[in-house]
Amino acid sequence: MSSFFETRVVTGARTMKKTVLEGDIDVLDGRYKPSARKLKKIANEQGLEYVGQGSHVFVFTHPSNHEVLLAIDFEREGISEAKSTYYLHRILSTLFPHNFPRIFASAGSLPHSSNKRDGTLTGTARQRIRGKQHFPPWWKRINDSQQFDRDSYFPFSRAWETIKKLDFPITDPDFGGPNFITGPDKGTYYIDLFALDRFRPDDWNIKDIRAYMSENSLSPTEIKTVLNSIKRLIELNQTRS
């Protein structure tokens, strides 16, 4: 069964419908993980490039821009989760542009469609980072990014140290997976997603974040982007409570 997949794409406060992919609902409805061979076949039929898959997503290139990746969830996420992902990563990529890819859009499904095979996909449209991807040895426990930061002009370990110092209410990164790429700008990028720490999602140290942005000469537009995104996350959490 073939169909257009329409997804609600959340960018800022707006929600719009966009057709992002055409393919087989039986394969991409989140019920099971199809093989890489099957995914490559679907991608080729739609004129896309199959990039790979992570622990929670299939990754294809965007139909009209191969520098944008479509990371499609195995299991559909809700609108609130999609908004949270978008705003959180807008903060991270603005403060640390050489360590976090930009999230251009984040898509979630409406509650009434979450259990229906209506062709709705959820996921993110992300900046593609080309470079050397790091694959930690499976037998070795990795607790930091220092081994990935060799020869990096913008080490992830420095960004993460700042994030902890500013006490961001977010989950820890997964250092043990293939989640790091050294980009062409010599930045160490974390290509997986973070989530808010659900125990204290409103706990943002705005005073120190403002001071950090001032010390690092962020532009007025960048400062506004960060502060507005924090405000949106706080409002989003209040609506959930």
Residue 31 pLDDT greater than 50, yes or no:
no
Q: Which pLDDT does position 193 carry in this prediction?
A: 93
Residue 25 pLDDT greater than 70, yes or no:
no
The single-letter code of the amino acid at 117 is R
Q: Which two tokens stand for residue 234?
A: 């706080």
Return the SS3 of 43: helix
71-93 residue pLDDT tens: 888 777 788 888 999 999 999 99
Most confident range (mean pLDDT) of 4-8, 62-66, 155-159 is: 155-159
Q: Which pLDDT does position 145 carry in this prediction?
A: 82
Whether 213 contacts 230, CB under 8 Å: no
Residue 22 pLDDT greater than 60, yes or no:
no
Residue 37, CB-side half-sphere exposure with 13 Å CA sphere: 0
What's the chain's Rg over C-alpha atoms? 18
Taking the complete model, does pTM exceed 0.85, yes or no? no
Q: Which two tokens stand for residue 157?
A: 């370990």
Strand partners, 104: none
36-72 residue pLDDT tens: 777 777 777 777 788 888 777 888 888 788 899 988 8
Query: 151: which residues sit within 8 A by CB, 6+ positions away?
Result: 182, 186
Return the SS3 of 6: strand
